[in-house]
A and B are shown apart, each in its own frame.
Chain A
């Protein structure tokens, strides 16, 4: 028999065998998944700037987002950095709604942000901040330009 025909037949057998094997129903199916670790993950904006304000006034609201990109429900508590020794930002207030807000003072306020709907996704919580100097009783004798305070957003598992 011609070598060419022989090798063609072998090739045909191999091809047929492979096709037959792949068509056989398997007895077990392997399920596979990546299980993500339980993780706290949060993003906050670096800087929030208010418009000019004076004693006796309430600032305009400043909207920003807290982003939960972890895999667990979290509680976020804003607090003034220990190094801040001024009085202005002690009147910082927060709420999650813009209209008819309750505006809770920093140090007392916290907000719950649920985990993302899909693992690896993000859950955004809309937030609003106000600087409420309506009850600020001290005289401000000199304009404080670019008066700053670091607000620390601490996230913990609920």
Chain B
């Protein structure tokens, strides 16, 4: 009778252990703060039970949106002129540290979610990603360069004067 009960408990434990998938990631949030064009990097640690194939992707909300609502994050990095480098497919044995590097072309505050899941398993973890980029972005810099009303000295002024002087002579 006792051995039957023991077998039953062991059986329940065995069924539970093969039917549950576990995934852990640290930290739960990443902050990238820097200048436009600068490469900003952070690290995360992913833990699994045994060895697992893990896939990753990153999704973004519209610029300026910062609420932690998952379904509002459906833009790709390219749509926000962000270049993000990280491992999208890897095999992890128990634990691995991964680097995420990011470079942006435009100033602004961006809110993303870095998603990692175990291939073939029903769970995924999202790491909230806050990006704050300062400085002059590429498009504005081009605009300033050709803007005639710009009061700051620009590089077009000198060749123009030179040309006028040349023709006057």
Residue of B nearest to A70 (CB): B24
Q: Is A126 an interface residue (CB 8 A)?
A: no
CB atoms of B128 and A42 under 8 A apart: no
Residues of B in contact (CB 8 Å), total 28
* Pick from B24, B113, B115, B126: contact of A39, CB under 8 Å: B24
Given A45-B19, A46-B21, A40 contacting B128 (CB threshold 8 A): no
Report how many A-B pairs have Cβ atoms within 8 Å.
92
* Pick from B19, B26, B115, B121: contact of A38, CB under 8 Å: B26
Name the distance in Å between A56's Cβ and chain B's nearest Cβ: 28
Could you pull out 30 A-B pairs where Cβ atoms are within 8 angstroms? Answer: A37-B27, A37-B45, A38-B28, A39-B24, A39-B25, A39-B27, A40-B25, A40-B26, A41-B24, A42-B24, A42-B123, A43-B123, A44-B21, A45-B19, A45-B20, A45-B122, A47-B19, A70-B28, A75-B70, A151-B122, A153-B122, A154-B70, A154-B115, A154-B123, A154-B126, A155-B123, A156-B70, A156-B127, A157-B128, A158-B68
Complex CA–CA separation, A77 to B117 (angstroms): 14
Name the distance in Å between A150's Cβ and chain B's nearest Cβ: 6
A interface footprint on B71-93 (CB within 8 Å = 1, 0 otherwise)? 10000000000000000000000
Q: Is A114 an interface residue (CB 8 A)?
A: no
Which B residues form the contact surface with A (CB < 8 A)? 18-29, 45, 47, 68, 70-71, 113, 115, 117, 121-128
Residues of A in contact (CB 8 Å), total 28
Name the distance in Å between B117's Cβ and chain A's nearest Cβ: 7
Most buried by A among B23, B45, B71, B122: B122
Given contacts A41-B22, A46-B122, A153-B122, 15 further A-B contacts (CB under 8 A): A38-B27, A39-B25, A40-B28, A41-B23, A41-B24, A41-B47, A43-B20, A69-B24, A75-B68, A152-B117, A155-B125, A156-B125, A157-B29, A157-B68, A157-B128
CB atoms of A46 and B20 under 8 A apart: yes
Complex CA–CA separation, A155 to B70 (angstroms): 10
Complex CA–CA separation, A75 to B117 (angstroms): 16
CB atoms of B126 and A69 under 8 A apart: no
User: Could you say which residues of chain A place their CB within 8 Å of the CB of B23?
Assistant: 41-42
Given A67-B20, A157-B128, A72 contacting B123 (CB threshold 8 A): no
CB atoms of B20 and A44 under 8 A apart: yes
Complex CA–CA separation, A29 to B86 (angstroms): 45
* Pick from B21, B22, B28, B128: contact of A69, CB under 8 Å: B22
Given A77-B70, A153-B123, A156-B125, A43 contacting B28 (CB threshold 8 A): no
